[in-house]
Amino acid sequence: MKKLLVVMGVTLAAASVWAQQDTTPVEPMDQTPIFRVNVVSRTTKAVNYRHRGGSTTVDLKGTSLMPQAGGKAKVDSKQGRLEINAGFTHLEPATKFGSEYLTYVLWAVTPEGRPVNLGEVLLDQEGRAELHVTSDLQAFGLIVTAEPYFAVTRPSDLVVEENIVRQQTQGWEESIDARFDMLEGGQYTIDLKAQQLPSATGSPKTPLDLLEARNAVAIAKAAGAAQYAGDSVAKAEDFLARAEDYLRRKQGRTPIGTVSRGATQMAEDARVLTLQKKQAEKVAAEKRAIEERAEKARAEAQAAAEREAQAKAQAEEDARRRQQAEADRAAAEQAKAEAERMKAEAEAARAAALAEQQKAEAEAGKARLAAEQAERQKEEAIRQKEEMRARLLNQLNQVLETKDTIRGLVVSMPDVLFDTGQYTLKSAARERLARVAGIVTAYPELKFEIEGHTDSIGRDDFNQSLSEKRAATVRDYLVDAGVSINNVVERGFGKTRPIADNSSPAGRKLNRRVEMIVSGDVIGTKIGSDAEADGTKVIPPQPTPASVPLPRY
């Protein structure tokens, strides 16, 4: 019987299509890493190797991406399976297409366009490789693609070899009815705008299996597998962590490869499951949208029926009312003459009442406008005072510590501005008071109360005198700087109004102070006479310790 010889090859629209693809950028969604999903459709022929058809051979030829590549594949058709023994030569490292590509995969493409991963093509130092696999397929074409890891489930568009049928090849030709899809740029390549695959920065000494595992886990997580397939991702990460540990402890290629390939396969399963669940969500959403539209249509139809029923009832009610109106018209005609007379009288009364009402409304309007204007003026005055108070507080705070109280703005001057036990101002104190004076003289209506305080150390009469003199020194400086003497008062309280405990040096330091209370109606506050009006806690005077022989100020 004459053998049926067939020629199977990949039909290309143009030779350069395999080498160069126009990549349309895809915008990121939800600010997360995404996959490029531009689909590239290919067409090819398939060979039916016949059940128990014996052995036959096809050649493997490099595409325009790698013309020097070659090889052949021997196909043995046996009961229930096909054995494929493929050899490859002159293959360059997959990384020539990008750091994300680590290996090659041999694919069988069925006549229906379904790609099946037959296995990883591992190169030796000479660019050669062998692959011995079995398949339950009977009719298929063979291609080799560059991939980021061995466990991928869809081929990339980087086809480096395809089968070429010899004249002696046994079988018969079957057309692939459906075009099989590849994903342009690689379905398994993370968008580089978001991040790089781990293999891009891996050490050259890292085993290939481990690099592939790192890529697979990263790609699965970028696809959203942590959300949709969390258990599988966790297992893949556990495998990967064990592989990394084996690498650190130099356990050898076999244990590293075992757990690495486990991580790769588990990550790919998680990625595929994620895509399936996302598709299911999309279908469910579309189904819900259809149901919602149907429900909306039903509701609108029901509403239309109700409106029609209401319209019919309204028409019947209108007819009844017309009949009643006809009956009432005769009676209305009889009352018309009387109504006309009463109308004239009512019009006159209404005109008088309207004139009186308009007069009252005009007067009420004037009163209301006057009240509103007065209220606005009051609010504006309060606002201006609050703004002036805030501005003054900010200005004073830039010179000395100032706080806002119900007594007014309290400017605190620590005792470091005076010589110890003296009431003369230091040069630094004069500079600060000069700045304070420059601020407050811009507000001539302000009132100032200068209060001097000491701690409890020393004689009461000395403390009282020192507090009065320090307050007077500040008053005189302000008056000399241009503040009206009529707006400034000073008082000394000695040790009678401490704000801290005099039993510690820190407390006594706080009690030795001069305070200037800035107030006045112009900022909404008048000076009060109550020392505790601002809510500040006043510490009762403490008895002078007998062990302290000299005062300290």
- Among 488, 470, 486, smallest CA distance to 429 is for 470
Rounded distance between C-alpha atoms, residue 169 and residue 8, angstroms: 10
Residue 53's pLDDT band, with cuts at 50, 70 and 90, is: low
Mean pLDDT of 82-109: 92
Report, as an integer, the average pLDDT of 194-217. Answer: 82
Distance CA 158, CA 114 (A): 17
Q: Residue 14 corresponds to which amino acid?
A: A
Residue 180 has pLDDT above 70, yes or no: no
The candidate with the shortest Cα–Cα distance to 139, out of 166, 105, 164, 176, is 176
- Residue 306's pLDDT band, with cuts at 50, 70 and 90, is very high
Please, which pLDDT band fits residue 188 given cuts at 50, 70 and 90?
Answer: low
pLDDT in tens, 480-533: 989 999 999 999 999 999 999 999 998 998 898 999 999 988 787 755 444 444
Predicted pLDDT at 42: 57
What counts of helices (H) and strands (E) characterise the chain? 8, 17
313-322, 338-347, 539-548: which is most confident: 313-322
**Distance (Å, whole) CA 504 – CA 412:** 20
Mean pLDDT across the chain, nearest whole number?
Answer: 80
Euclidean distance between CA atoms 177 and 43, whole angstroms: 9
Query: Is 11's pLDDT higher than 60?
Result: no
Q: What is the largest CA-CA distance in the chain?
A: 137
pLDDT for 544 equals: 41
pTM above 0.85, yes or no: no
Q: Which residues, other chains included, contact 479 with Cβ-Cβ below 8 Å and sequence gap of 6+?
A: 485, 488
Q: How many CB atoms lie within 10 A of CB 404?
A: 16
Distance between start and end Cα atoms, the chain: 126
Asked whether residue 446 carries a pLDDT value surpassing 80, the answer given is yes
Q: What band does 199 get if pLDDT is binned at 50, 70 and 90? A: confident
If 0-12 CB within 10 Å is exposed, 13-18 middle and 19+ buried, where does residue 553 land? buried
Alpha-carbon span 493 to 538, nearest angstrom? 12
- Structure confidence at residue 187 (pLDDT): 56
Name the residue with higher pLDDT: 435 or 544. Answer: 435
Read off the tokens for 319: 């007819």
How crowded is residue 114: how many other Cβ atoms within 10 Å of its Cβ?
A: 13
In the structure, what pLDDT confidence band is assigned to residue 146 with cuts at 50, 70 and 90?
very high
- The domains located in the chain, with CATH, are 1-21+28-196 (2.60.40), 398-523 (3.30.1330.60)
Whose CA is closest to 44, among 161, 169, 178? 178
Instruction: Read off the pLDDT of each residue in 383-390 and give the average, rounded to a whole number.
Output: 86
Counting Cα atoms < 13 Å in the Cβ hemisphere of 245 gives: 7
